[in-house]
Structure 1
């Protein structure tokens, strides 16, 4: 049997609890967002898109983006919410453009076009020399697919460098894309459920998770329960794009 890499996979690891840094100055706190401190990577067609080069990475065991995993989670859900509406065939070429050569005009149609196009990008602006990652969905006959493209930006200072191809594009069944997001969602929520259980056990034993750091476990549990429903909300959302306005806006911008 031949093994093939999945078209997309979202991997992560959480920083050990005793090494998670608190937020705040005089009254440091631990909250759900901060407790997701860790690393993550996006595998696309066998390429690790968020993997740093050996020259850049300081962590040989996981040379990937070192940040709060919830950031990637929230932004993947934003793609599910805003970029899963099939693109009409006549706009497919526009959807595939990473950096359209548009001249801004202040009209509702132009704004509609820019909003639609922007919704296809994975937000990565919190990263230095962030790669551009874009996805769009097409429906042609029985073929329902999502395409994910990426493009790395050179660092003017030459300090940050990502491994792997500078550009790429992977097309997969929409079901496979959504399955990867669902798997990521379940894995992160399970990891955070375990983390909260550890914090509860520490409190019950009379020990502080981090001495001198404020932790509201009741609020943490409430937020965890709420976040467990975010993927469902994202999938239920209908962007209801006005395609005629988008088409008109694209013509104006060009």
Structure 2
């Protein structure tokens, strides 16, 4: 871990869910953009440490920090670590999430409760700390999902949770009037991550890949590029928006 002295001008990013999938690629992209990155993880310490090593090998600065996003005390400690190690927080990308799939009539409500804790309560807890701590010129990016509009069968609980994420995003952008902080959401379509591919057969994956006009699944790099824009100087006039990064799928 490389530390950054406060006042050196380096921007600092927290990425939840940073040990895998979209979050992992976002962490690496933001490090390449010049951010010192706090790689947030829930249970995959080895994977988070690997991300840190990758970033440092490429000349960046990063550290790993464990936090259950559904626990507000642990989320506050995650932000504390960013401030202690690097001096502040300039970008927050909330990529942590769960995706249990089942028809609404069959979903175990225990799975719904776990989904709520991570995807809704977790988003609220992370956004609450971001609203309190982001420095002027900062950016918050929540990760939603294009399934909110696509309404795929089997995604009822997940889509409902991401609908809540989008509502929180739009309202918080307005509540932060005068703070010079942007708040947006990125809503990926089908993206080739372990979370998305888990439990899907080849036929299902091929069908989903054929739906966008670009006729492929998205990649974590595709989504990280959008986050890079929103957290960079080119995205400062984009605020209170949900960007559907899905290759044109409708």
What range is the shorter-chain TM-score in?
A: under 0.3
Larger-gyration structure (1/2): 1
Per the normalisation by structure 1, the TM-score is 0.26
Q: Higher relative CO (CA 8 A, sep ≥ 6), structure 1 or 2?
A: 1
Higher helix share goes to which structure?
A: 2
Higher strand share goes to which structure?
A: 1
